[in-house]
Every structure is written in structure tokens, then in C-alpha cells.
Amino acid sequence: MILAVVGGKGGVGKSTVAFELAALRGAVVVDADLAMADLPTARGPDLHDVLAGRADPVEAVREGGAVDILPCGRTLAGARACDLGALGGALEAVEHAYGDVVVDCAAGMRADVGVPLAVADACVVVTAPERPALADALRARELARTFDAGLAVVAYNHAGEAPASVERALGAPAVAIPSDDAVVRARRAGQPVTRLFPDAPAVSGFAALAESIRACGL
């Protein structure tokens, strides 16, 4: 199963949500934000190399950490060398080898968002309480519909509760994830907060998000 995590606006916590969901589901997380990668990385081949034809996608997956990850390069030259047409096949190859894949998509409406949505079984839209973030979430929702990627749940980040108006606007259940300094500390350590600080307030939000996805049969 391929789950795409999307957000119309940067800075809403999309990468954190993807990382935490992968940890909870025992999935491989793929950093598919080709120009602004934000997930942990390590030496060796990455998604830039895969999409430039220099590495096999399965061999580029890093195992043995808190979360198995296919990282992405950080250079502009690497991003420019990528063949976007190869991204869908790379994601499907990782799915075939590992079963469960969570894709941290690029923010906005660029072509490198559409490719993961085209191969995804479902998506999660990440947004925050600010009006611009919600407007961008609606655009991300429409993009997902264009590619027939069903919206499983809305991650309403940095919030104590998710208003019913958000669920009505986006047409899916919304799960609130509170702001939590433990999430920041865990990201700095390259670890999921669900494992490093299991009693942190945000952990219950991430767990509820994962449960909402499972309730959709995913």
C-alpha cells in the first residue's frame, strides 16, 4: 500500500506526519520532496540517484534505523538530474519489496506531487489552523481528486481539536495533533517522537491519525 502525505503549504508539518506514520505502521518512508528534502539522510544512494538512473530504488532504502527510509538528496544539481517519469515506478518497486510505503510529497502543486498521488492508494492532507494553510489544503485535496487518490484523513496539525468545519470542507475525518516541543526534539535527533518520547502529548494525536487510516481499511 502506498500512502501519499501531501500539504498545499510548506511549514505545516507534512514531513513530520509522514515520518511518524511510517514509524507507527512499520512502513518505509520515502522523501519525495526532490527540491526541499527534510527527512533524515545518510551516506549512500538516495532518491536523486534513483531518478537519475544511478541506483536501484530498493537498494537505496536504508534499513536498521528507527524507520526504514529512502532518503532524498539535498543538491539542486541532483534535483535537476531527476527523471520525474521514473518516480512512480520507483515507489511501486519499494512497495513490492516492503509492502507499506509512506511518501512525503513536495509541498504545493508541482508535478512531483502529482506522480506520487497517481500511484498512491490513498492520501493524507496535512494542514494547520491558519487560513492560508486551510486554503492550500483545499487545493491539495482537489489535486488528489484529479489523480483519483482517495483522501483517508486530514491531519490538523498544531491544534488541540479539529473543527467540524474542516471535515466538511475537505470531506474527510480530521484528527488534531497538538503542538509539542517533544516533536521538535525528536526531529533534531532524527527519531520519531512516538518512540523517543512515547508519553508526549503529540503521540496520542499521531496514534489517532494512524488508527483513522486503519479504519478506512488501509
Taking only the tens place, the pLDDT of each residue in 88-135 is 999 999 999 999 999 999 887 666 788 999 999 999 999 999 888 889
CA–CA gap between residue 38 and residue 16 (Å, rounded): 9
Percent of the chain past pLDDT 70, that is, above it, reads 98
pLDDT tens digit sequence for 156-202: 999 999 999 999 999 999 999 999 999 999 999 999 999 999 999 99
- Predicted local distance difference test score (pLDDT) of residue 110: 66
- Predicted local distance difference test score (pLDDT) of residue 96: 98
- Predicted local distance difference test score (pLDDT) of residue 188: 92
- Predicted local distance difference test score (pLDDT) of residue 41: 84
CA–CA gap between residue 217 and residue 98 (Å, rounded): 18
Identify whether the C-beta of residue 152 lies closer than 8 Å to the C-beta of residue 123. yes
Superfamily for 2-216?
P-loop containing nucleotide triphosphate hydrolases (3.40.50.300)
Long-range contact list for 38-41, CB < 8 A, 24+ apart?
38/104, 39/15, 39/69, 39/71, 39/72, 39/104, 40/65, 40/69, 40/71, 40/190, 41/71, 41/72, 41/73, 41/74
Domain parsing of the chain, residue ranges: 2-216
Res. 1: pLDDT tops 90: yes
DSSP 8-state symbol, 119: H
Angle at 22 between CA 77 and CA 129, to 5 degrees: 85
- Predicted local distance difference test score (pLDDT) of residue 109: 66
DSSP 8-state symbol, 218: -
